[in-house]
């Protein structure tokens, strides 16, 4: 009797025990599987919030197939995430919009395909995107946005300029980015930051108190006029170049180098008084707009009298200047772009890498800058 009862109790106990074990194992498998899944997504770079959306929207299989994708990680966190746009999102780069998912949704809604959407989002910011999307759908948008230096904020100016000037797509983007669709001096930025690649032209003014902090004297033996200064890097490059020229039997002399804002003001006003504003503008920069204020520029001569473009030294500079980081800044036939007549004597230091890269192109520094340095 006692034995039988114990047996019965034992059977019941085993039943309960089995049930508990099954529950514990099931929970264990579930937790373990969850853990492995979460780790899989995390190892692909997805954040905790993104993983929550992946689970909620049952996107696990797709995510595992796609793998790491920075855009998906960004948009999956957003309240604007739309499951229907999942395939579209993954083909777009991870750009810095306040809400990337919302930005992509809006571009797609406007009718742009993935390739166009990617170019549009790459080329602008929140404000320029909102303005761009307020315009009609632009069928030929890739004509301009194929260039990675195209700017969404300039799209209307590209269309206008090309219609007016019949320029190629590439030149249109380049010229408008320089500012050439507007007259010289009518719309310009004021530069405050010093850098060896600084672009000073009729659309970019150096502030009145812009003075390079590493100006040094140029030894007198290299100068036709006293008290010449340049930045240390440009000066050293010039001396190295002048020494090499001397070995080749030539004499490079500096007529003019660093000029202050006030120096330029005096020069420009003298020309203006003599010739009037129009002619003065073609031969001298207005104060703040002269490259000479950067300390990276030299006007070269061989003597006080010769015309530099007719000298051996000029021919030598054409072949050798780039090796020392100098470029002829206002070449022949480019005055529509540079705003200056051909100046055979005016050289700008940009460093050896850029001077070398520019040598294989036919670009002015204005064009080179907007295409490769203004990103």
According to the binding rule CB under 5 A, does residue 259 interact with Zn ion? no
According to the binding rule CB under 5 A, does residue 366 interact with Zn ion? no
According to the binding rule CB under 5 A, does residue 346 interact with Zn ion? yes
| The binder of Zn ion chosen from 118, 143, 299, 366 (CB under 5 A) | 299
In the DSSP assignment, the letter for residue 225 is: S
According to the binding rule CB under 5 A, does residue 301 interact with Zn ion? no
For residues 227 and 331, what is the distance between their CA atoms, to the nearest angstrom?
Answer: 27
Q: CA triplet 258, 260, 265: central angle to 5 degrees?
A: 125
CB of 245 to Zn ion, least distance (A): 19
Task: From 77-85, 162-170, 313-321, 346-354, give the range in contact with Zn ion by CB under 5 A.
Answer: 346-354
In the DSSP assignment, the letter for residue 94 is: -
Instruction: Give 46 or 349: the residue with its C-beta nearer to Zn ion.
Output: 349
Instruction: Provide φ and ψ at 327, rounded to 5°.
Output: -130, 150
Residue 361 three-state SS: coil
Instruction: Give 118 or 299: the residue with its C-beta nearer to Zn ion.
Output: 299
Residue with nearest beta carbon to Zn ion: 346
Residue 56 backbone class (left: φ over 0; alpha: ψ -120 to 50; beta: rest): alpha
CB of 220 to Zn ion, least distance (A): 20
Instruction: Give 10 or 309: the residue with its C-beta nearer to Zn ion.
Output: 309
Task: From 126-134, 153-161, 187-195, 340-348, give the range in contact with Zn ion by CB under 5 A.
Answer: 340-348
For residues 47 and 82, what is the distance between their CA atoms, to the nearest angstrom?
Answer: 18
Task: From 31-39, 89-97, 293-301, 350-358, give the range in contact with Zn ion by CB under 5 A.
Answer: 293-301
CB of 43 to Zn ion, least distance (A): 59
CB of 129 to Zn ion, least distance (A): 41
CB of 181 to Zn ion, least distance (A): 26
Structure-block tokens of residue 260:
């202050």
According to the binding rule CB under 5 A, does residue 151 interact with Zn ion? no
* Alpha helices for 300-374 (secondary structure H): 312-320, 335-338, 352-359, 365-368
Structure-block tokens of residue 208:
């009145």
Question: Cα 121 from chain centroid?
Answer: 15
Which residues in this chain contact Zn ion in the complex, by CB under 5 A? Answer: 299, 346
């Amino acid at each position: 009797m006692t034995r039988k009862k114990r047996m019965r109790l034992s059977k019941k106990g085993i039943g309960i025990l089995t049930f508990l074990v099954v529950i514990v194992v099931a929970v264990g498998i579930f937790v373990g599987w969850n853990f492995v899944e979460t780790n899989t997504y995390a190892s692909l770079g997805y954040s905790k919030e993104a993983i929550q959306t992946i689970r909620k929207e049952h996107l696990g299989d797709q995510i595992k197939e796609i793998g790491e994708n920075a855009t998906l990680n960004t948009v999956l966190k957003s309240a604007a995430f739309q499951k229907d746009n999942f395939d579209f999102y993954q083909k777009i780069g991870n750009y810095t919009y306040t809400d990337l998912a919302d930005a992509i949704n809006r571009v797609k809604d406007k009718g742009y395909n993935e390739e166009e959407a990617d170019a549009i989002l790459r080329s602008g910011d929140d404000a320029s995107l909102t303005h761009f999307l307020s315009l009609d759908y632009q069928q030929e948008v890739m004509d301009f946005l194929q260039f990675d230096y195209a700017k969404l904020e300039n799209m209307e100016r590209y269309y206008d300029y090309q219609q007016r000037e019949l320029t190629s797509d590439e030149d249109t983007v380049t010229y408008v980015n320089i500012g050439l669709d507007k007259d010289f001096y009518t719309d310009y930025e004021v530069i405050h930051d010093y850098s060896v690649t600084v672009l000073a032209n009729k659309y970019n003014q150096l502030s009145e108190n812009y003075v390079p902090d590493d100006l040094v004297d140029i030894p007198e033996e290299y100068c036709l006029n006293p008290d010449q200064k340049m930045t240390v890097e440009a000066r050293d490059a010039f001396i190295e170049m002048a020494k090499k020229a001397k070995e080749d039997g030539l004499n490079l002399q500096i007529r003019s180098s660093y000029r202050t804002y006030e120096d330029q003001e005096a020069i420009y006003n003298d020309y203006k008084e003599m010739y009037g504003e129009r002619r003065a503008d073609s031969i001298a920069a207005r104060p703040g707009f002269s490259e000479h204020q950067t300390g990276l520029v030299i006007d070269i001569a061989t003597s006080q009298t010769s015309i530099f473009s007719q000298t051996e030294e000029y021919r030598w500079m054409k072949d050798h200047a780039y090796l020392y980081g100098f470029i002829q800044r206002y070449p022949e036939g480019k005055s529509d772009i540079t705003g200056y007549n051909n100046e055979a004597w005016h050289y700008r230091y940009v460093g050896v890498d850029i001077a070398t890269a520019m040598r294989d192109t036919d670009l002015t520094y204005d064009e080179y800058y907007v295409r490769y340095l203004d990103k």
